[in-house]
Structure 1
Amino acid sequence: MKYRQTDRNKELLKGGVISIILISTPFLFYIYKYAPADQTSWDTFIGTLEAGAFSNVQNYMHALFTKITFVILTGLWFLTSNKWWRYAILVPFTMFLFQLSGVISYKVMYMDEYDFWDALPFILPIIFFLAFISHRLSRRKTSSTLDEEANEEIKKMFSDEI
């Protein structure tokens, strides 16, 4: 009985964290509006943000947080999906990661052009990491389900219920 309560608490916590992330994405998407539109450099408590190839800091923040939002949403979608086609989600995920790397790199002038071969060395470790996490989560869920079924069967065997 205690195991079920702990599992419910873990599921509730996991669902709460996912909900908070999903609820915060619109705020993350529009955070660029707080950046100055007339400066190429902005001093924040985190550090100094440079506009780089963008005309001002607000444009840079808009491009940056748009890509970060889509990376978070597609990554979360991949991790929480249990359908057979979930690996197809990695295609737009890699695209968004490559575009994010273009925004972060000041020397890259072709931010939204998608070149698969340039993105491959940057993206492969992240994809392997996501696939590993996804595999571990699905394996843990399967073993947890089997454990619950075995415990129920043992209880039925030793009880008077048949």
Structure 2
Amino acid sequence: MVTKKKEAKKKIFLESILVFFIAIAPFIYKTYEYLPLNADGSISFLWFTIEDNGFQDASFYVWFLTSKIVPLYLFIFWFLTSRDWWYHIIIIPIAMYAFQLFELIFDSDLQIDTDNIWWIIPVCMVTIPFVYFIRIKLYDKHVHGIDLEAMDAELEELKKKGFQVEDQNTSVDNTVEKEDESTMSLADKVNTKLSTNSIETFLKGIQDRLQGWLNFKF
């Protein structure tokens, strides 16, 4: 009972922090207007000094930073708390703002928001087909009444019953399966590893681990 109360207190505390940061998002975005600007174009705040980093002045640089940071953490909150079937697609804007923020802080040239679009393409190539496959599965199940997972489970059950009746055929079938695995092409192996269920399990595991660390249970 005490453990449940502690978990409830921790959950409410963490959710309160989440709500707090969502509520102050517009004010974080506007911080560049209120930071004291020095004569040399830098900003001194507490123990930190923010240089212009190639911009007109440091306030302009902070404006660019907040325009990336605020949407980034809002999308991360959305990803952590979403229960919609398409929540995986939120990874794309998260990656976009993360790459833009990385380029803004660490890139040495004078151009920003340029080449990072190419960094997002691999993320899109995985996420978009994956979400589309989930949509197909849901459409088949709820519109056409075709439940592929149930059909697979039924076939698996029939296969197990068949193995129990024909013990002699079991060893033969296992030998054939091993031969099939050994002769499986590279494309088939990649397709197996990158199947919809495998990717869904992987992404769901990431979300569950993050929610476990933050104790977000919805």
State if a TM-score over 0.5 links the two structures.
yes
Aligned to 2:67: 66
Q: Give the Å deviation of 1:132.
A: 5.2
Whether the 8 Å contact between 2:100 and 2:116 is mirrored in structure 1 is no
Match of 2:208 among 112, 115, 135: 135
1:11 aligns with 2:3: no
Aligned 1:27-106 pairs, distance under 5 A: 27-35=27-35, 36=37, 39-105=40-106
Provide the rounded CA distance (Å) in 2 between the counterparts of 1:87 and 1:64: 25
Q: What's the counterpart of residue 21 of structure 1?
A: 21
Match for residue 109 of structure 1? 110
- Which range moves more in the overlay, 10-19 or 20-29? 10-19
CA distance in 2, matches of 1:80, 1:88: 14
Say whether the 8 Å CA contact 2:80–2:211 is kept in structure 1.
no
SS across alignment from 2:43: strand
Gaps of 5+ in 2: 122-202
Q: CA deviation at 1:3?
A: 5.1
Letter in 2 for 1:20: F
Aligned mates of 1:131, 1:50 — CA distance in 2:
40
Cα deviation, 1:101-135, whole Å, max 9, x if unaligned, reads: 12212513332225344468xxxxxxxxx965512
Distance 1:131 1:33, change over 3 A: farther
Q: Equivalent residue for 2:175?
A: none
* Distance in 2, Cα, partners of 1:75 & 1:32: 23
Paired residue total? 134
Distance 1:134 1:71, change over 3 A: same
User: 1:92 corresponds to which letter in structure 2?
Assistant: P
Secondary structure of the equivalent of 2:47? coil
Residues 114, 84 of structure 1: alpha-carbon distance in 2 compared, 3 angstrom cutoff? farther
Identity of matched residues, %: 26
